[in-house]
Amino acid sequence: MAGGNKAVAYIEPGVVEVRTTDYPTLELKDGPGVAPANVGRECRHGVIVKVLATNICGSDQHMVRGRTTAPAGLVLGHEITGEVVEKGPDVEFLDVGDVVSVPFNIACGRCRNCKERQTGICENVNPGRPGAAYGYVDMGGWVGGQAKYVMVPYADFNLLRFPDRDAALEKLLDLTMLSDIFPTGFHGAVTAGTEVGSTVYVAGAGPVGLAAAAAAQLLGAAVVIVGDLNAERLAQARSFGCETVDLTKGTLEDQIAEILGVPEVDAAVDAVGFEARGHGKDAGEAPATVLNSLMSTVRAGGALGIPGLYVTDDPGGVDADARSGTLKVRLGLGWAKSHRFTTGQCPVMKYHRQLAMAILHDKVHIAKAVNATVISLDDAPRGYEEFDKGASRKYVLNPNGALDHVKAA
């Protein structure tokens, strides 16, 4: 298929722009952020996807705020759902017309980590370090999917095909959460040890935190408590049955005790990451706040799921340590309480199919939980601006009209 493309690009801190770009090919070409060793990489195993829905993620927002080393011109977007419109000669099990979910992890399916279901740290897709993603700094330079079209490598391995095209299109607003935030939130809840009857605290009521809360409910938690500094986001958490704590008012432990009768929980999820603020009405940034508060709050023998993003380079860090990702974490407290910690990218493929089934069979309504809000691709700069100001919405871009039936914001 010939023709051009449109995509959302990072320009400078606080600025994104919708640009005309080249139509993708089955070759990774040179461009902003592309690892030199990946330039010219042929992807006979890849497909071209027409993007039906693609979302603005908090991880994108870190780059747009200038809190990473992302280069100008980087095409953003790693939450992608689409339709296969072209396939490479080595693709065997996908066909043109298939509707698919694209995990944000890029994985070869051949290395040791992929074979052990650790697709977030594939060894063969990023020359710099294990793990790759679309449209993200230091992740190999694979072009992002906040666009009309995108190339997906290792398609047979990576893509989740929906067998019933009509059912997938009907549930598209929910299914678009499968590429990242729903599995990421679920991974946080699972690795925190959530099970039937658990009491769970989720730090952060942004989209990933709300997804983690919905996941904890799906896993059978007795009580899910969500904490944040943003009243609008806390109201969104309450809208689907969560308890909440307002971290501008009183201590976390006291507020949890008011809800549970004890100042501790069985499991906790960090859905905030390195841009955490201290607790209190006018608290400034304090990147270890969430990790330390979770260790104080989780019972002895419990676990912390940490899907919140932490980075090795933060140009906007509050001090020299923070700028290198060195945080003042009370590891001694976690050690004394025999806590278990799980960090890193969610291996989306580990949860992909079962969460799709839960959506398709109405066991969870994840779009409602995260307040999914459809906007046009051209409106992406507005979405970034409003999200950065704390809007309690998950912005979903509609590049090719597949969500025209959903009322746009």
- How far is the CA of 155 from the CAs of 51, 54, 83, 263, 348, in angstroms? 15, 18, 12, 47, 15
CA-to-CA distance for 376 and 248, rounded, in angstroms? 35
Give 20's contacts (C-beta < 8 A, 6+ positions apart): 4, 5, 6
With a cut of 80, say whether residue 118 has pLDDT above it.
yes
**pLDDT for 212 beyond 90:** yes
Residue that is written with structure tokens 């074979």 in the block: 115
Query: Taking 60 as the threshold, does the pLDDT of residue 380 lie above it?
Result: yes
Could you read off the pLDDT of 330-347 as tens digits, one per residue? 999 999 999 999 999 999
Measured between alpha carbons, how far is 99 from 121 in angstroms, rounded to an integer? Answer: 26
Q: Is the pLDDT of residue 154 over 70?
A: yes
CATH topology of domain 5-180+347-397: Quinone Oxidoreductase; Chain A, domain 1 (3.90.180)
pLDDT tens digits, one per residue of 61-101: 999 999 999 999 999 999 999 999 999 999 999 999 999 99
Residues 339-362 have a mean pLDDT of 97
**For residues 162-176, b (16+ Cβ closer than 10 Å) or e, as one string?**
beeeeebbebbbbbb
pLDDT at 1: 46
Residue 112 pLDDT exceeds 90:
yes
Where do you find CATH 3.40.50.720 in the chain?
Answer: 185-343
How many CA atoms lie within 13 Å of 392's alpha carbon, on the beta-carbon side?
21
Measured CA to CA, the distance from residue 191 to residue 352 in angstroms comes to 16
User: What does the pLDDT read at residue 2?
Assistant: 52
> pLDDT tens digits, residue range 271-291?
999 988 889 888 888 889 999
Give the CA dihedral 58, 61, 66, 68, nearest 10 degrees: 40
Asked if the model's pLDDT at residue 409 lies above 80, the reply is no
pLDDT for res 3: 65
> Does residue 312 surpass a pLDDT of 50?
yes
Rounded Cα–Cα distance for residues 346 and 350 (Å): 9
Q: What is the pLDDT of residues 290-303, one digit of tens each?
A: 999 999 999 999 99
Residue span(s) of the chain under CATH 3.90.180.10 come to 5-180+347-397
What's the mean pLDDT in 368-374? Answer: 98
CATH of domain 185-343: 3.40.50.720
